[in-house]
Structure 1
Amino acid sequence: MKRTLTTLALIAAATAAGAGWYLHGKQPQRDGELTLAGLQAPVTVRYDERGVPHLKAQNQDDLYRALGFVHAQDRLFQMELLRRLARGELAQVLGEKLLPTDRLFRTLEIGRHADARAAQLDASSPSVRALQSYLDGINQYQASRPLPMEFDLLGIKPRPFTVADTLSVAGYMAYSFAAALRTEPLMTHVRDALGADYLKLFDLNWHPEGVLADTALSSGDWQDLAALAQLSDAALADNGLPQFEGSNAWAVSGSRTASGKPLLAGDPHIRFSLPAVWYEAHLQAPGYELYGYHHALIPSAMLGHNRDFAWSLTMFQNDDLDLIAERVNPDNPNQIWYQGRWVDLEQRTESIQVKGAAAVTITLRRSPHGPIINDALGQNSGTTPIAMWWAFLETDNPILDAFYQLNRADTLDKARAAAAKIEAPGLNVVWANAAGDIGWWASAKLPLRPAGVNPTFILDGTSSEAEKLGYRPFTDNPQEENPARGYIVSANYQPVPASGIEIPGYYNLPDRGRRLNQRLSDATVKWDQHNSQALQLDTGTDYPKRVLAPILGELREAAQGAQEQALVQSLADWNGEHPLDSVAATVFNQLLYQLAHEAMADELGDAFFDSLLQSRVLDVALPRLTADAQSPWWQRKGSSTTQTRAQIVADAWRASLTHLTEQLGADPQTWQWGRAHTLTHSHPLGIQQPLAWLLNVGPFAAPGSHEVPDNLSHKIGPAPWQVIYGPSTRRLIDLADASTALGSNPVGQSGVPFDAHYADQAAGHVLGVYRPQHLSEADIAASTQGALRLLPH
């Protein structure tokens, strides 16, 4: 037995040593010297205590080549997975379960569009030259250094990254903004299948003339559209990759700050992923310096600051995607009616490589309005082709130039000119400089639709309502520069442009923006980094009061016994804040779901109700629902008796308490928000054990909630709640001294498992810990943990 135990111990030790040796070989090199072909002079890369690289080069070509190298060292697998997602190539490495996702992204034509645009770019332009240098750095790393562990696990064979890959990832980003694909089928179903009385709940204009006539949808078409909405959401949610959701940003002029200089705050809200979406890097070369936040495969920073200026982004939420029902020629299924005549649909075939199985050939079609999006489903049950008009596919969209210029925009004129080049997706650029200016530009190329057309619904391809009359000039877009009030706030609510034009979109509730505006408008406050932190970390909202006030009496009638009456009273007294110890937050969020389910699931059916839970329109609908006792949604479908709001509220209350008791125990005092509301950062491969245990980070008890300033947000649904998205960073830059800037990373700088910086910031970020962003030479020298020299080859 002793010999057996000794043998087993030796095997275990050898296995552990082998695993340790293997994993050690995969770790980033942050000390020493390496050679890099194409460099004109050495580049120094100093890594600080968070693993942020501070790069110093003698010219900008070297700077971007070195950035590509160090970015790949920390994030190569993220780059690989993003380009595969965008181009519909995941099944090749993840198997046939990813076929639906690949089919969807092939249908979206992102890769096809990127290939065409890449061939048109001017290779001599500064932005393309920077991109080529950056990609060369990535490719040199991939060709010369150990490949990530995930490449070995999945059998990924490396291939060079290209300009088309970068443009494909930009397309993926644009798609992740596009709520229309997940919302328009739902809203059209409510309008056409349920009617005007049901549609009122969503605060949309009712246009009976817009009901689809010649292209009326069949029951099979509705099934397809419901499946398409679910596929669209799942393609983003199930792959562990970032999806852009919302954001806060504000700029305060020097007259309203303690320092006398502008202060910029920003926290873009993005689906949490591992690694995190942003890669921080401080770049220096003669005539250029920026502390930036970089997206995978994009060399220019999308957020950034230096001593002279700073900017942040929020999502515009404008509707730049229309779904269009085409009318098929009964004598020729490959023709549709377009502008008074039958025209052929374009057709092409593509082959999707599938790991462990034969390649799958798909047929994709396109009408003059755009790709036929329900081809993403393969075998359709319906007969109506649904085309997708998408601004990303239709505009020139010089987004590489836009951000290259924004990285250098130290004046209002330069920042405005850069913002005007962002065409799709729509973004709000909030900017400030040390000279005292602040500005905001809602950047997008806004299509001109015919008068009276409501693009919230699927449009009729046989009529003129589906056509575009051109685009509005950038000067019509919402924007402000140096407003008299002394501050600018952007929080995804519907903007009101000075031009007075209507801008259709899928905007967030105004509550979050109103709460920020209420505090920023207090002229007695001088803003600094300390009180700005408190504002970014605010967990409160007035939304619960708007939902609960009309039904508090009915909740009291439904409550049984002193304990339940006390719970109702806690809701009545609750201030809407979501700290970790709140019981009222837990009860309210469960009740919110149950109200939606009891009132609306029977009319919508499972697929469309699930789409509703994923949409922003539900946020608007629920306060209107509780305020209207006569809403038809209170009537149960198929019931022979008339239901009332009081009955449905009582049922929702009883179901809420039953569910919370099952999940959290019989004592309501233990139903604290932090027990029910948690954040786990999931690696794309961490969907099953033991990889989940090895690669995922969390769970962490999470304060905040849906549509509060500290927007650690979950899907409306039953407890417990998994936080889906939230602040992808929290940044505060006082331009009196930008070297004191603060920021945060949701997980860590590195995407390499078992690296020291893989998850070193995760526990602090969820609780609102800020960390210094070193800009001065003294601070960089004091915080340097490793120094890598990249030498010409």
Structure 2
Amino acid sequence: MATLFRWLLRLTSAAILLAVLGLGLVYYLAARSLPDYDKVLAVEGSRAEIEIVRDNAGVPHIFPQNDSDAYFGLGYAHAQDRLWQMTLLRRTAQGRLSELFGRRTLETDTLMRRLDLYPLAVRSVAAQDPQALEALEAYAAGVNARIAEINAESLGRGAPEFFLFNAPIAPWQPADSLAIVKLMALQLSGQFREEILRAQTSLALPDPARLQDILPDIPGAGTAALPDYAQLFPGKTLQPFATAAHEMDALSPFPERGLAGASNAWAASPARSAGGGTLLANDPHLGFTAPSTWYLARLELSSGGVIGGTVPGVPAVMLGRSEHLAWGLTSSYLDDQDLFIEELDPDNPDRYRTPDGFAAFETRRTIVDIKNEAPVTLTLRWTENGPVLPRSAFDLGSITPQGDVVSLAWTALDGADTSLSAALRLMRAQDVDEALAASELYVAPSQMLTLIDGERIAMKLIGTMPARDPAHQSQGRLPSPGWIEANRWQGRLPDSANPLFLDPPGGIVGNTNNKVIDRPFPEHVSFDWGDSQRVMRWQSLMTGRQVHTRDSFIEAQLDTVSPAARTLLPLIGRDLWYTGEAAPEGTPERQRQRALDLLANWNGEMNEHLPEPLLYAAWLRALQDRLIRDEIGPLADNYTHVEPLFIERVFRDIDGAGVWCDVIRSVVVETCSDIARMALDDALVWVGERHGTALESLRWGDAHQAAHEHPVLGNVPLLRSFVNIRQSTSGGDFTLQRGRTSGRDPQPFSNVHGATYRGVYDFADPDSSVYILSTGESGHFLSRHYDDLGTLWRRGEYLPMSLDQDLARAASVGITRLVTP
């Protein structure tokens, strides 16, 4: 027995030793790719010495001797910190993820190949102006210099992920950067998803006239009644009910409905500024990932210093400020996508119907390689309207007549896209007028561009606006017959048609993705906007002060009061408050009374430490589900977020919308108060099962955690503890500090989409401007800069955003000098 014990002890000790050695080896290999910020390196491709000063947050301040080398230095810095992210973005645009991840990403690759984004990016290289071409080539050379350094010095393949996924890194090309810009356009475009849901709901509703309730227009000028979707295709077979669409893979760039981009931006003129200078605040909203989409950087150009948010893979400061100009971006919600039903020739399925008769598809074959499996050959098809999408994607089969196919028209499908040239000109602009002139080259993604210089403010919709025929059958709101000339796009509108707000008399402009203009179709911009609630709170905060400061703009960015809660709670609870009968402890009636008492005294602030936001959010979610599920069945699963305008229409009985409260499958006629009471009980059961029954002890932040997840390793046991970043957060779907919830079980209130960047620029004292990221500069999870900024971001703190070279050097954690051989 003693001998057996000794051998077991020896084997156990050996196993522990081997495990420790193995972990040590893994750490050593992973740590090899941590960049050294303090060195001198000889590189090929630069024209002269480049100095990259890293401040204490890891932000690179790039000091070259010419503009070309500024972009070279940015490419090198991006590759130092985010090489895995860059290669993943490139592979996504190319439709080549399955080479690494197998069948898991085949659907994503198939869709990307069908959209043809990468070939369109290749074609767009020749469309750039000379300065943009120079920037693209210099940037690619900088990225390749880092790749060459990794290969020459065995620097851990550049990132730990490259050890787990055998992904040889091809040299960076100018087209790769343009492809990432197009990928951003895809991530920020969701109008076609609205068309699909509107068509599905039209087919599912017992009374299609009620479509205006569940998918309401933003208040303003009325819209002509839409046709019943089925009436657009007489004689064709359509499914009477849609099925719930499945979720896309985490690596898919196609946004879920309601997560296609948002953002806030507002600006004040000197007359409305306490310091006498212009002010601008901007916080673009994107899906949370680790690392963030954004990367902070400062470039010293011949036109002056530029600092702000860049996107790894793209040689431009996309939002930020220079010495004379500051600019911010928000999603415009321009209707830049249309779906078309294409009728196939019954005698030849390789042909489709056009206004001039049947025509052949434009076709091309492509091969998708799949890890550990045989490759898949696809036949790509294009019509005159755009690429053909598979019926299986986005549940398109549920709204496509039997025997027909669907194509997509989209402004980003342009082989002469000059959006990057516009971004680079904007960086060099010296005033608002030059910036507006530069914006004319933007194609996609369409954005609202907010500008300030030393004296003036402006806001303009940038990007190509499709020209539609006034006789369009559905006004672009439903998938339409592609063979009818009036439904097809008629080219593009001139830039002069893009809404522009220049030096308004009130001295303030802003956008929260709200409806910005009230023009009749077809120059309407959009029927679907991203906000009807936040704008009300923004107007209150802006008009509540005669003059503003940097701090008042920061306060507005971080505001967590929900105007939706303040509007809806009095409506849905008006017959429930103070009307309950005595109920003993432990009964549902007593729990309901306790919840109503808490909500009655709540001011609508979605603070992470309060219980009321969780009770309110759970109640509204249960209420909407009860209102719609008996009418539209499983399609209710696609309505993942509460629509305040729908709830308000129902409880105010606007145009008879109160009929939604009656359960059509029951004999009793339910009132809206009945449904509100039952929904509150549903919510309390749900809350009790997941968060406990002690209502006063609930915390909104426990349910509303910001989920910055690694898109590849985020679900891997053990590793996910190192790569995912989770934080308890305030805010909600309808607060200025927006924290968009997932809307899906098992964590419907998880914060998945919000301000990944915040910046506030004050031209009374430009170097007092501030900015912050939601994670950190590095994409390497062993780096201290992987999540260091996330703590500041969660607390509502910022970094100084100064162009003072001495300040950057004084706080530097390393200086890299790139020298010519």
Coarse TM-score class (shorter-chain normalised): over 0.9
Q: Secondary structure at the match of 1:581?
A: coil
- Choose the corresponding residue for 2:216, options 203, 207, 212: 203
- Choose the corresponding residue for 2:651, options 605, 618, 626: 626
CA change 1:63–1:547 in 2 (3 A) is same
Q: Secondary structure at the match of 1:245?
A: coil
Instruction: State the TM-score, normalizing by the size of structure 1.
Output: 0.93
Correspondence for 1:355 = 371
CA change 1:552–1:499 in 2 (3 A) is closer
CA change 1:296–1:212 in 2 (3 A) is farther
1:476/1:497 contact within 8 Å kept? no
Query: For the residues of structure 1 that align with 2:419 and 2:768, how far apart are their CA atoms?
Result: 30
Q: Secondary structure at the match of 1:736?
A: coil
| Corresponding letter in the other structure for 2:74 | L
1:511/1:542 contact within 8 Å kept? yes
Correspondence for 2:517 = 496
Query: How big is the shift at 1:4?
Result: 5.0
Q: Secondary structure at the match of 2:777?
A: coil
Correspondence for 2:584 = none
Correspondence for 1:178 = 189
Correspondence for 2:785 = 757
Query: How big is the shift at 1:648?
Result: 2.6
Q: Secondary structure at the match of 1:550?
A: helix
Correspondence for 1:442 = 461
Q: Secondary structure at the match of 2:806?
A: helix
Q: Note the alpha carbon deviations across 1:85-118, whole angstroms, 9 max, x for none.
A: 1221111111101111111222222123223323
Does residue 149 (structure 1) correspond to residue 165 (structure 2)? The answer is no
Query: For the residues of structure 1 that align with 2:818 and 2:355, how far apart are their CA atoms?
Result: 60
Does residue 613 (structure 1) correspond to residue 626 (structure 2)? The answer is no
2:757/2:772 contact within 8 Å kept? yes
Query: How big is the shift at 1:775?
Result: 1.8
Mapping of residues 468-487 of structure 1, within 5 Å: 468-487=489-508
Larger mean CA deviation between 356-365 and 372-381 belongs to: 372-381
CA change 1:107–1:631 in 2 (3 A) is farther
| Corresponding letter in the other structure for 1:251 | A
Mapping of residues 607-756 of structure 1, within 5 Å: 608-613=635-640, 618-628=643-653, 630-636=657-663, 638-639=665-666, 642-684=669-711, 685-698=713-726, 700-717=727-744, 721-756=749-784
Q: Note the alpha carbon deviations across 1:362-404, whole angstroms, 9 max, x for none.
A: 2222221111123564996853211111111147431011001
Query: For the residues of structure 1 that align with 2:724 and 2:255, how far apart are their CA atoms?
Result: 14
Query: For the residues of structure 1 that align with 2:297 and 2:169, how far apart are their CA atoms?
Result: 25
Query: For the residues of structure 2 that align with 1:42 and 1:443, how far apart are their CA atoms?
Result: 37
Larger mean CA deviation between 276-285 and 376-385 belongs to: 376-385
1:221/1:384 contact within 8 Å kept? no
Query: How big is the shift at 1:232?
Result: 9.4
| Corresponding letter in the other structure for 1:300 | A
Q: What stretches of structure 2 of length at least 5 have no aligned partner?
A: 1-5, 218-222, 582-587
1:579/1:704 contact within 8 Å kept? yes
| Corresponding letter in the other structure for 1:388 | L
Correspondence for 2:3 = none
Correspondence for 2:585 = none
Q: Note the alpha carbon deviations across 1:178-198, whole angstroms, 9 max, x for none.
A: 212221111012224424332
Query: For the residues of structure 1 that align with 2:349 and 2:645, how far apart are their CA atoms?
Result: 40
CA change 1:149–1:207 in 2 (3 A) is same
Identity of aligned residues (%): 26
Q: Secondary structure at the match of 2:757?
A: coil
Larger mean CA deviation between 749-758 and 155-164 belongs to: 155-164
Query: For the residues of structure 1 that align with 2:516 and 2:542, how far apart are their CA atoms?
Result: 17
Q: Secondary structure at the match of 1:417?
A: helix
Does residue 569 (structure 1) correspond to residue 594 (structure 2)? The answer is no
Larger mean CA deviation between 50-59 and 345-354 belongs to: 345-354
- Choose the corresponding residue for 1:235, options 237, 252, 256: 252
Query: For the residues of structure 1 that align with 2:379 and 2:631, how far apart are their CA atoms?
Result: 35
- Choose the corresponding residue for 2:88, options 74, 81, 85: 81
Q: Secondary structure at the match of 2:751?
A: strand
| Corresponding letter in the other structure for 1:419 | S
1:191/1:199 contact within 8 Å kept? yes
Correspondence for 2:481 = 460
Correspondence for 2:543 = 521
Q: Secondary structure at the match of 1:422?
A: coil
Query: How big is the shift at 1:305?
Result: 0.9
Q: Note the alpha carbon deviations across 1:543-562, whole angstroms, 9 max, x for none.
A: 12332333213444689544
Q: Note the alpha carbon deviations across 1:683-732, whole angstroms, 9 max, x for none.
A: 1221121221121122x111111121101221335656211111111111
Query: How big is the shift at 1:277?
Result: 0.9
Query: For the residues of structure 1 that align with 2:524 and 2:657, how far apart are their CA atoms?
Result: 31
Q: Secondary structure at the match of 1:428?
A: strand
| Corresponding letter in the other structure for 1:393 | L
Query: For the residues of structure 2 that align with 1:170 and 1:611, how far apart are their CA atoms?
Result: 29
Matched residues, number: 781
Instruction: State the TM-score, normalizing by the size of structure 2.
Output: 0.90
Query: How big is the shift at 1:220?
Result: 5.4
Q: Secondary structure at the match of 2:169?
A: coil
Query: For the residues of structure 1 that align with 2:318 and 2:791, how far apart are their CA atoms?
Result: 25
CA change 1:639–1:460 in 2 (3 A) is farther
Q: Secondary structure at the match of 2:317?
A: coil
Does residue 586 (structure 1) correspond to residue 599 (structure 2)? The answer is no
2:563/2:734 contact within 8 Å kept? no
Query: For the residues of structure 2 that align with 1:674 and 1:429, how far apart are their CA atoms?
Result: 33
- Choose the corresponding residue for 1:531, options 552, 576, 598: 552
Query: For the residues of structure 2 that align with 1:159 and 1:232, how far apart are their CA atoms?
Result: 25
| Corresponding letter in the other structure for 2:315 | P
Query: For the residues of structure 2 that align with 1:665 and 1:179, how far apart are their CA atoms?
Result: 37
Does residue 398 (structure 1) correspond to residue 418 (structure 2)? The answer is yes
Pairwise CA RMSD = 2.7
Correspondence for 2:810 = 782
Query: How big is the shift at 1:332?
Result: 2.3
Does residue 121 (structure 1) correspond to residue 127 (structure 2)? The answer is yes
Q: Note the alpha carbon deviations across 1:14-45, whole angstroms, 9 max, x for none.
A: 33432332122110110111111122211111
Does residue 17 (structure 1) correspond to residue 24 (structure 2)? The answer is yes
Query: How big is the shift at 1:342?
Result: 1.6
Query: How big is the shift at 1:442?
Result: 0.8
CA change 1:555–1:533 in 2 (3 A) is same
Q: Note the alpha carbon deviations across 1:257-313, whole angstroms, 9 max, x for none.
A: 121111111111111111111111111144432113111211011112122111111
- Choose the corresponding residue for 1:772, options 767, 788, 800: 800
Correspondence for 2:69 = 62
CA change 1:676–1:131 in 2 (3 A) is same
Q: Secondary structure at the match of 2:390?
A: helix
Q: Secondary structure at the match of 2:293?
A: coil
Q: Secondary structure at the match of 1:469?
A: strand
Query: How big is the shift at 1:790?
Result: 0.8
2:266/2:450 contact within 8 Å kept? yes
Q: Note the alpha carbon deviations across 1:132-156, whole angstroms, 9 max, x for none.
A: 1101111221232132111110111
2:321/2:327 contact within 8 Å kept? yes
Query: How big is the shift at 1:664?
Result: 0.7
Query: For the residues of structure 1 that align with 2:440 and 2:628, how far apart are their CA atoms?
Result: 42
Q: Secondary structure at the match of 1:392?
A: coil
1:455/1:504 contact within 8 Å kept? no
1:100/1:376 contact within 8 Å kept? no
Mapping of residues 339-418 of structure 1, within 5 Å: 339-374=355-390, 377=393, 382-394=402-414, 396-418=416-438
Q: Secondary structure at the match of 1:724?
A: strand
| Corresponding letter in the other structure for 1:401 | S
2:776/2:786 contact within 8 Å kept? yes
Q: What stretches of structure 1 of length at least 5 have no aligned partner?
A: none
- Choose the corresponding residue for 1:426, options 435, 446, 452: 446
Q: Secondary structure at the match of 2:265?
A: strand
Q: Secondary structure at the match of 1:483?
A: coil
1:294/1:302 contact within 8 Å kept? yes
Query: How big is the shift at 1:734?
Result: 0.9
Query: For the residues of structure 2 that align with 1:174 and 1:477, how far apart are their CA atoms?
Result: 18
- Choose the corresponding residue for 1:323, options 322, 329, 339: 339
1:477/1:499 contact within 8 Å kept? no
